[in-house]
């Protein structure tokens, strides 16, 4: 592999150690896919990325795998496995540092790159301080905001919220570089007093394979009981309340009341899945609302192919306004138009009238109105899809992301 050298500082960056919460092969989620795709992209660009997971993983998830090192697609994944589980956060931090230090000394990385949340960042910062290594903190979300969104009785005044926010902010200040996923997230971080010069955006991206034409969907449509000419709107996501999937179900019910042969296809699972199925049944969507649950990553594009429109009906909540999701970018790469809630983070992904449409969040009537127009206009759907694929192919591949990381690393202290 070729070392990457900064023209400005002369700093050589070859090996990067990513510190993350969980990982492939045992946890397959947007978080773990981003980690893996970053590593693959960096390796293709000439770096030597390694990944290490949080103390105790995967045993903490009930997975009896005690290997200290595994490889996935040639990427080395290391584990930090203590003899006994830490009793609290302070003990976990001590165990993480104790177990990480010999690994870092042996690997001799040039950069420690921690990803959300602060538990990973604090280990990286302490190890970096002791060994004189620069630390990057990648803020992939604001987990205190996700916590807040999952229970209406919770408040920004709650001790958990204020403590988690303070810990996250402290890590952002302490890191040598902060990476995040979008401009809205960057503005939030800078708004916490972090030096804007050290906050960079590396947006969610896709593999080149996502840009290939979608597979034939006729077989899957037949399996699901969807007619060849029926209109299908759906999403691939986690079923949390802030995703606003009830709005999508209600909009499809409205479309069917208007006489349109419309279907909802919601791929994924989560705490709201049962309630969504009940809502669909109550709305009379028997046979017209499909919930296959979580599917393997290799199957996602098969479900994309069954859609006419990809929907992101997120509610107007703080977490939705801040965090840019990956799933619509994957759908756009396949040439799907996207209809999303008109929220700051989603405006970074969807350009109305070019790659899709934005509608008022939490309004099934507005969503139904938009979808009805698109259902009647396949030419516009195809035009939006072409523009979406072109935009993703130009700006949002993991290869492009890898070069953004290299440029960012090059400015780190020696």
Helices 398-410 and 30-44: angle between axes, nearest 10 degrees:
70
From the list 305, 375, 368, 367, the residue with the least C-alpha distance to 336 is 305
Q: How far apart are CA 64 and CA 104, in angstroms?
A: 25
At residue 1, the pLDDT reads 42
Instruction: List Cβ neighbours of 355 (8 Å cut-off, separation of 6 or more).
Output: 332, 337, 338, 349, 384, 387, 388, 391
- What does each C-alpha distance from 70 to 58, 67, 75, 85 come to in angstroms? 12, 7, 8, 21
Q: Which CATH superfamily is domain 15-205+397-411 in?
A: Glycogen Phosphorylase B; (3.40.50.2000)
Q: Provide CATH code, domain 208-395.
A: 3.40.50.2000
Using the structure block, give the residue that is written with the tokens 């516009």.
380
Instruction: List Cβ neighbours of 390 (8 Å cut-off, separation of 6 or more).
Output: none
DSSP tag of 29:
S
Q: What is the SS3 assignment for 407?
A: helix
Ordered mean pLDDT values, 10 residues apiece, the chain (414 residues): 45 89 92 93 95 97 96 97 93 97 98 97 98 97 90 92 97 98 96 97 92 95 96 95 96 98 96 96 96 91 97 95 92 98 96 98 98 98 98 91 93 77
Core vs surface per residue 207-219: b (16+ CB within 10 A) or e:
beebbeebeebee
Contact 290, 266 (CB under 8 A): yes
Q: How far apart are CA 394 and CA 400, in angstroms?
A: 9
At residue 3, the pLDDT reads 54
Burial (CB < 10 A; 0-12, 13-18, 19+), residue 58, is buried
Q: Which phi and psi (to 5°) does residue 408 adopt?
A: -70, -45
Radius of gyration of the chain from Cα atoms? Answer: 22
Using the structure block, give the residue that is written with the tokens 């590396």.
202
DSSP tag of 100:
H
Instruction: List Cβ neighbours of 58 (8 Å cut-off, separation of 6 or more).
Output: 22, 26, 27, 65, 79
Pairing relation of β-strands 111-115 and 75-78? unpaired
Q: How far apart are CA 332 and CA 291, in angstroms?
A: 21
Q: How far apart are CA 183 and CA 116, in angstroms?
A: 17
Helices 118-131 and 159-174: angle between axes, nearest 10 degrees:
30
Q: How far apart are CA 377 and CA 241, in angstroms?
A: 31
- What are the residue boundaries of the structural domains of the chain, listed by start? 15-205+397-411, 208-395
Q: How far apart are CA 198 and CA 166, in angstroms?
A: 19
Q: How far apart are CA 332 and CA 384, in angstroms?
A: 9
At residue 11, the pLDDT reads 55
Contact 388, 338 (CB under 8 A): yes
DSSP tag of 215:
P
As a residue count, the chain comes to: 414
């Amino acid at each position: 592999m070729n070392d990457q050298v900064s023209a400005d500082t002369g700093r050589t960056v070859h090996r990067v150690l990513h510190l993350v919460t969980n990982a492939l092969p045992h946890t397959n989620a947007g978080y773990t896919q981003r980690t893996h795709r970053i590593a693959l992209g960096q390796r293709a660009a000439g770096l030597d990325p390694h990944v290490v997971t949080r103390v105790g993983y995967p045993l903490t998830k009930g997975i009896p795998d005690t290997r200290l090192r595994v490889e996935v697609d040639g990427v080395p994944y290391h584990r930090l496995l203590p003899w006994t589980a830490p009793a609290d956060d302070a003990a976990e931090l001590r165990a993480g540092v104790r177990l990480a230090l010999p690994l870092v000394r042996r690997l001799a990385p040039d950069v420690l790159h921690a990803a959300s949340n602060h538990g990973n960042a604090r280990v990286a910062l302490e190890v970096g301080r002791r060994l004189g290594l620069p630390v990057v903190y990648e803020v992939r979300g604001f987990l205190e905001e996700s916590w807040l969104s999952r229970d209406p009785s919770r408040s920004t005044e709650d001790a958990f919220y204020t403590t988690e926010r303070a810990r996250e902010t402290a890590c952002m200040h302490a890191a040598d570089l902060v990476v995040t996923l979008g401009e809205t997230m960057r503005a939030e971080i800078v708004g916490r007093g972090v030096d804007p010069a050290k906050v960079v955006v590396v947006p969610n991206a896709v593999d080149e394979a996502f840009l290939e034409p979608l597979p034939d969907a006729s077989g899957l449509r037949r399996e699901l009981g969807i007619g060849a000419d029926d209109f299908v709107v759906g999403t691939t996501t986690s079923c949390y309340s802030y995703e606003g999937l009830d709005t999508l179900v209600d909009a499809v019910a409205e479309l069917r009341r208007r006489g349109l042969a419309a279907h909802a296809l919601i791929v994924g699972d989560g705490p709201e899945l049962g309630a969504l199925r009940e809502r669909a049944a109550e709305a009379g969507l028997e046979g017209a609302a499909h919930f296959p649950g979580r599917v393997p990553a290799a199957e996602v594009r098969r479900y994309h192919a069954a859609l006419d429109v990809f929907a992101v009906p997120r509610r107007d909540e703080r977490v939705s306004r801040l965090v840019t999701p990956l799933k619509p970018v994957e759908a756009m790469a396949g040439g799907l138009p996207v209809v999303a809630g008109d929220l700051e983070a989603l405006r970074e992904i969807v350009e109305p009238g070019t790659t899709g449409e934005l509608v008022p969040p939490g309004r099934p009537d507005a969503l139904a109105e938009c979808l009805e127009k698109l259902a009647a206009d396949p030419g516009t759907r195809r035009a939006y899809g072409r523009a979406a694929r072109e935009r993703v192919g130009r700006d949002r591949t993991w290869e492009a992301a890898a070069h953004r990381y290299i440029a960012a690393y090059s400015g780190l202290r020696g």
